[in-house]
Amino acid sequence: MAEYDTVRRASAGVQSSAIDEGLRAHMNRVYGLMSMGMIITGIIAYIVGTDLASAKAGQPTMLLSPEILQTMFSSPIRYVIMFAPLAVVFAFGAGINRMSENTARLVFMGFSALMGLSISWIFAVYTGISIANTFFVTAIAFAGLSLWGYTTKKDISGWGSFLIMGVIGLIVASIVNIFLASGPIAFAISALGILIFAGLTAYDTQNIKNTYLQMASNGQTEWLGKAAIMGALNLYLDFLNMFMFMLQFLGGRE
The pLDDT tens digits for 173-219 are 988 988 888 888 999 999 999 999 999 999 999 999 999 988 887 77
Look up the pTM and report it: 0.88
Question: In 3-state terms, what secondary structure has residue 117?
Answer: helix
Residue extents of the structural domains in the chain: 2-250
Which phi and psi (to 5°) does residue 253 adopt? Answer: -80, 150
What is the mean predicted confidence (pLDDT) over 21-30? 92
pLDDT at position 7 is 31
The pLDDT tens digits for 6-21 are 333 333 443 566 677 8
- CA 195/CA 176 separation, integer angstroms: 20
- CA 125/CA 248 separation, integer angstroms: 11
pLDDT bin (cut points 50, 70, 90) of residue 165 is very high
What is the mean predicted confidence (pLDDT) over 28-46? 97
pLDDT at position 8 is 38
Q: Which 8-state DSSP code applies to residue 90?
A: H
- CA 37/CA 167 separation, integer angstroms: 21
pLDDT at position 16 is 65
What is the mean predicted confidence (pLDDT) over 153-166? 92
Are 38 and 115 contacting, i.e. CB atoms less than 8 angstroms apart?
no
Q: Is the pLDDT of residue 1 over 60?
A: no
**DSSP string covering the chain:** -HHHHHHHHHHHHHHHHHHHHHHHHHHHHHHHHHHHHHHHHHHHHHHHHHHHHHHHTTPPPSSS-HHHHHHHHHSTHHHHHHHHHHHHHHHHHHHGGGS-HHHHHHHHHHHHHHHHHHTTTHHHHB-HHHHHHHHHHHHHHHHHHHHHHHH--S--TTHHHHHHHHHHHHHHHHHHHHHH--HHHHHHHHHHHHHHHHHHHHHHHHHHHHHHHHHHHHT-GGGHHHHHHHHHHHHHHHHHHHHHHHHHHHPPB-
The pLDDT tens digits for 98-122 are 999 999 999 999 999 999 999 999 9
Q: Is the pLDDT of residue 82 over 90?
A: no
Share of the chain above pLDDT 90, in %: 58
* Average confidence score pLDDT of the chain: 88
